[in-house]
Structure 1
Amino acid sequence: MDGPVRFAIVGTGWRTRFMLRLAAMAPEVLEPVAIVGRSPGRAHDALRETRAAAAPFSAHLHDHLPVDGLEQALSLRPDFVVVAVPWEASPGVIRSVVEAGVPVLAETPPAPDLDGMRSLWASVGSSGLVQVAEQYTRMPGHAARIALLERGVIGAPHTVEVSSTHLYHAVSLIRTMLGAGSPVTGAGVRVNARTFTAPMVDPLTPDGWVGRGAGEEAAVPGGAVAVPPAEPRTTTIATLDLGDGRFGLYDFVDNQWWNPYLHRRIVIRGSHGEIAADSVLRMTADGPVAGRLEHRRTGVDLNLEGNALWHTSFDGSVVYRNAWHGSRMSEDDLAVAQILLDTGRWARGEGPEPYPLAQGLWDHALSLAIVKSAHSGADAVVADEPWG
């Protein structure tokens, strides 16, 4: 590209700090030009806290980033604007940026409820200027699995089971892997959800180990581990009937993102095989064949190339290549950095839409149906929405 992607951010919460940190780690590719907060002090706080968390990369975060309002941010001519504000405020900010003719990357979800989504679509849907920052399909493992699906390795996919992340993120994986870009046809998508509560150990939260300060390990003298008591935790199970034989199974436990003793599970079943995590079983002319996604990771044992994921291969062919391997980013970091880069390419007319607004609205509408069905004990149906 001709220079790094240039973006402004509206909002000063943890998502803003996340993206600023990534920009500091890859300044040759990602360049924040402005931070807009509800007050100058909040924007300066976000910058200061990110600098502390992003050392030794913080030299790339400049004092001029906090600006006085959206108008000043737009005057800096960013390629696009990230809207990372609370759900209820997001539609208004998106509309303001679109009215200025500037592309938008809206954090998930772009509106709080169905009425808000319908109103947002009515005002900006036809502009073609709004994308959604849904990163999960760009995580290395998921990106590699999607590449196998695109190659037809297991035939036509019809079932996806996800147990790792919640609501719209999980729904986006289900829809993308099933090729269900616009899932509502005919009778719509029927969602059936139930909840179950049982005692579970939940030792790690965003604030750190339970009973310890943030960043402290849960170790006690002698090398043992301080195990907290089991507490009630809720599991939500949902089925999504997307039509044409396509089916999604959603399984999420409270705080599953952080709980270190819960597995992350994904199974994709197709007409000629199945992918379970990194294992692949498929039917070929030579009979049933087993294979694996293999991840080349450096920095292991005597390897001195640095600690990084370089690529993922299947049957001797690379299906995912990490373009950020020198950055020291985690896998979730890689996914967010990639959607920022892809949005910049799209905004410059150099690449396809990364995740259009209609897709983000489907994700959230279906996730709201999961919540509704779980609370009511009855099926919920999503059909005939305007973004269809």
Structure 2
Amino acid sequence: MPLDQGSEAPRGPIRFGVVGYGWRADFYFRLARLVPDRFQCVGAVTRKAEVGERLEREWNIPTYRRPEDLVSSGAPEVVVTSVPREANPDVIRALVGLDTAVLSETPPAEDADGMRRLWADVGAADLVQVAEQHPYLPVVVAVRSLIEQGVLGDVTSAQVSWTHDYHATALLRTLLGVRAEPARVSAVHTTTPVLEGPDRGGWPDVQRVQDVVHTLSILDFAGRTGVYDFTDGQWFHPWRRRHLILRGSRGEIVGNDVIWAGEDGRPLSAPIVRRHLGLDGNLEGADLDTLSWAGRVLYRNPYPGARLSDEEIAIATCLERTGLWRRGEAAAPYPLADACQDHLLGLAVHEAAERGAPVTTAVEPWADAVRLP
């Protein structure tokens, strides 16, 4: 998971196709519309012709009924799978069989056995990346930059209360620099009352307090500790904000605040500062510009002028990195092996909570292929 942000446009837009449709697929269609110099959607696959006709009208793209037709007619460099998780493995197998690079929906398979079968079938082909955008969110890239610069010293613990399952474990493993070694996972599920917030469909017509599941877990990676803290529906809930705590031998990060030991050992502090355009009298456009810290730019928006949300920036980065990887111009952004490991850890969190006892993950067949984040 390289930190370079690809601020310079690649040689021609990344040509991609999509298998499936719906809320997640629309992110990719929007990218092709909003950043046409970097992304070109060459078509989508839908089983039903009437769905295809709707996509053709809405997004001005050709549609096909089979992945084979998309690959032969559209010549995509990458095909994004956006289908239900139970269908995803077979779609991946079909595309790999066509010698096509895949950017798979998360997770790549339903459970551990499904991931082992998928890895046995396609792992050696090295054609599959997974659309895990969270390590590429701007603030996460900024924090990773501070880690790589050694500002925090040896990072030993990370706490994430932000997103769920494999997304959260991807963040924990990335921030802690953990690969595929066994982890001892303990967890608990409790219920807590929370005022209902928005979901994918927007705000509820009538707000009410609901009992939701709160999951708290500790993942012990033999000396490095990850804390998983998630309340159902937290993704964009205004009353359950993002919480990120990262601790190292020379300092810590709490939210956007950084404290660290200077060269003389005295404590210093400075926040990670977001420069967002279009505020007050600024006429540069409504866009993220940079994230900086103590006079250093840690992150620069690689898609200026597109007015993308942070989530869209991260999704675009993952897609572009996959295309550049396929061209041989960049390292793999988030390989199948990493996705399998993170989903394995997410499954272990829930297993431990349901058992009421710790679970220790095993070394899996994909372990040697997991990249150091």
What TM bracket, shorter-length normalisation?
over 0.9
Which residue number corresponds to residue 256 of structure 1? 234
The amino acid of 2:274's aligned partner reads: H
- Does the CA-based 8 Å contact 1:206-1:258 persist in structure 2? no
Moved more, 96-105 or 116-125: 96-105
Aligned residues: 356
TM superposition shift of 1:204: 2.1
Aligned: 1:166 with 2:164: yes
- Does the CA-based 8 Å contact 1:159-1:270 persist in structure 2? yes
| Residues 195-236 of structure 1: CA deviation (Å, up to 9, x unaligned) | 111222113222222226xxxxxxxxxxxxxxx332212210
Distance 2:313 2:11 in 1: 21
Which residue number corresponds to residue 270 of structure 1? 248
Distance 1:14 1:234 in 2: 24
> 259, 266, 274: which is aligned to 1:295?
274
SS at match of 2:308: coil
The amino acid of 1:211's aligned partner reads: D
Over 3 Å counting, the alpha-carbon distance change for 1:200 and 1:98 in structure 2 is same
SS at match of 1:303: coil
Distance 2:141 2:263 in 1: 27
Which residue number corresponds to residue 323 of structure 2? 344
TM superposition shift of 1:2: 2.2
- Does the CA-based 8 Å contact 1:132-1:355 persist in structure 2? yes
> 45, 48, 60: which is aligned to 1:36?
45
| Residues 31-75 of structure 1: CA deviation (Å, up to 9, x unaligned) | 110100122222333454xx3xxxxxxxxx324x21231111111
SS at match of 1:293: strand
SS at match of 2:117: helix
Distance 1:44 1:114 in 2: 37
> 343, 349, 357: which is aligned to 1:370?
349
Aligned: 1:99 with 2:93: no
TM superposition shift of 1:241: 0.7
Name stretches of at least 5 consecutive residues in structure 2 with no aligned partner: 1-9, 368-373
SS at match of 1:372: helix
The amino acid of 1:100's aligned partner reads: L
Alpha-carbon RMSD: 1.3
Name stretches of at least 5 consecutive residues in structure 1 with no aligned partner: 52-60, 213-227
Distance 1:281 1:361 in 2: 34
SS at match of 1:208: coil
Distance 1:283 1:121 in 2: 44
Which residue number corresponds to residue 4 of structure 2? none
> 183, 191, 202: which is aligned to 1:208?
202
> 286, 298, 304: which is aligned to 1:307?
286
- Does the CA-based 8 Å contact 2:288-2:301 persist in structure 1? yes
